[in-house]
């Protein structure tokens, strides 16, 4: 097949610049396990899942349907201040929670924890609001660039290598969030 015809036939889901790391099937099985774990840990509690926009939206949508409890959801949007490409750890709240978390058991839902700077600041902010407990569920854990070593991830989908990943909510300049799998971008300059 010529390069031209490969290009003509490739779609966003079959983009040759993407190498699948976790398939839809693998993700589905793992989410079911995490959902069971969260269900067991929060029986009889007032559970609220807090999604961190935008990256967590796909994980949150699947995860909540794997939790067999009475529960609610809420969202926050934060922007991390970056000094060039390096996160400084300061976060600005762009959208705050709609409801109080006082007395509730909160599970913060993230797409990926990298340096951990954004999440540890966010947990600090939420920590002053009187929740009964605050836990962290991150679909991916990329431990190698971690700066906040003390950050505890209570529920993790997969521990991943220090590569730039897209799909299942994760983006590169806004693109690829809709991929139903997690992929490595082979050539970031062509992404
Ligand atoms: P950090 O833990 O403060 O460094 O920031 C984590 C955030 O960086 C995540 O919520 C993502 O938005 C973004 N991020 C980190 N690694 C990746 C990646 O491999 N692909 C896409 N976004 C990433
Ligand atoms: Mg994010």
Cα–Cα distance between 73 and 158 in angstroms, integer? 23
Tens of pLDDT along 4-43? 555 568 899 999 999 999 999 999 999 999 999 999 999 9
Atom of ligand 1 nearest to the CA of 148: 2
105 is an active site residue: no
Q: Say yes or no to pLDDT of 2 above 80.
A: no
Cα–Cα distance between 136 and 16 in angstroms, integer? 34
| pTM for this model (two decimals) | 0.92
Order of strands across the sheet with 71-83? 86-95, 71-83, 47-53, 105-113, 133-141, 155-159
Neighbours of ion ligand 2 (CB under 5 A): 55
Q: Say yes or no to pLDDT of 54 above 70.
A: yes
Cα–Cα distance between 169 and 146 in angstroms, integer? 21
Cα–Cα distance between 167 and 26 in angstroms, integer? 14
Tens of pLDDT along 138-171? 999 999 989 988 999 999 999 999 999 999 999 9
Interval between CA 65 and ligand 1 midpoint (Å): 24
Do 105 and 132 contact (CB within 8 A), yes or no? yes
Bridge partners of residue 139, in order along the sequence: none
Interval between CA 55 and ligand 1 midpoint (Å): 9
By most ligand atoms within 8 Å of CB, the mutation choice from 19, 112, 136, 164 for ligand 1 is: 112
Do 138 and 113 contact (CB within 8 A), yes or no? yes
Cα–Cα distance between 131 and 99 in angstroms, integer? 12
Cα–Cα distance between 109 and 56 in angstroms, integer? 6
């Amino acid at each position: 097949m010529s390069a031209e015809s490969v290009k003509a036939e490739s779609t966003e889901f079959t983009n040759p610049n993407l190498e699948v790391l976790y398939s839809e099937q693998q993700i589905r099985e793992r989410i079911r396990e995490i959902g069971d774990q969260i269900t067991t840990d929060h029986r009889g509690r007032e559970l609220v899942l807090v999604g961190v926009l935008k990256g967590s939206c796909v994980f949150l949508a699947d995860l909540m349907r794997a939790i067999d409890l009475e529960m609610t959801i809420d969202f926050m949007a934060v922007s991390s201040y970056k000094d060039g490409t390096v996160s400084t750890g300061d976060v600005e709240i762009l959208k705050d929670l709609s409801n109080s978390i006082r007395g509730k058991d909160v599970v913060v839902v993230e797409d990926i924890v990298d340096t951990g700077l954004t999440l540890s600041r966010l947990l600090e902010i939420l920590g002053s609001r009187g929740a009964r407990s605050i836990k962290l569920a991150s679909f991916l854990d990329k431990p190698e660039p971690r700066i906040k070593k003390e950050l505890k991830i209570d529920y993790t989908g997969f521990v991943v290598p220090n590569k730039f990943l897209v799909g299942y909510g994760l983006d590169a300049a806004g693109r690829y969030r809709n991929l139903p799998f997690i992929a490595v971008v082979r050539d970031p300059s062509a992404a």
